[in-house]
Amino acid sequence: MPGTGKTVMKYLLALIFIAAGINHFWHPEFYLRIMPPWLPWHSALHLTAGFFELLFGVMLLIPRFQRWAAWGLIAVLIAVYPANIHMAVNPHLHPDLSEKALWFRLPLQFVIIAWAWWYTKPVMEARP
């Protein structure tokens, strides 16, 4: 069946973001720790990011909302990029994480953005 791989990858992407969104509420201390100090309202921002990661992850699974969800995930990934940069340039604040992993996350974010972008195309509904 054509598109099966793309469908499997969509479910994987959705699962990653649903899990990440839930994790914002389950382990807020991790997300509060990675917030750049120059950003205001750390708690509100990380909860907002978690909410939208969860929402867009679920929406990605609904064909009618897939495009909006994909664009939303791209926006979230761009919005949280400063936190990833902050982590990479301040590895001493994250001794439990590998410095190489922190730097690896920076280009990986663009791969994930491209992955989400894959789902911004209109969904072709099967005709009977």
Give domain status of residue 125, yes or no: no
Give domain status of residue 128, yes or no: no
pLDDT tens digits for 38-97? 989 999 999 999 999 999 999 999 999 999 999 999 999 999 999 999 999 999 988 889
Query: How many domains does the structure of the chain reveal?
Result: 1
Using CB atoms within 10 Å of the CB of residue 116, give its burial: 0 to 12 exposed, 13 to 18 middle, 19+ buried: buried
Domain that holds residue 74: 4-117
Q: What is the pLDDT of residue 126?
A: 53
Give domain status of residue 113, yes or no: yes
pLDDT tens digits for 13-32? 999 999 999 999 999 998 89
Using CB atoms within 10 Å of the CB of residue 14, give its burial: 0 to 12 exposed, 13 to 18 middle, 19+ buried: buried
Give domain status of residue 49, yes or no: yes
Q: What is the pLDDT of residue 88?
A: 95
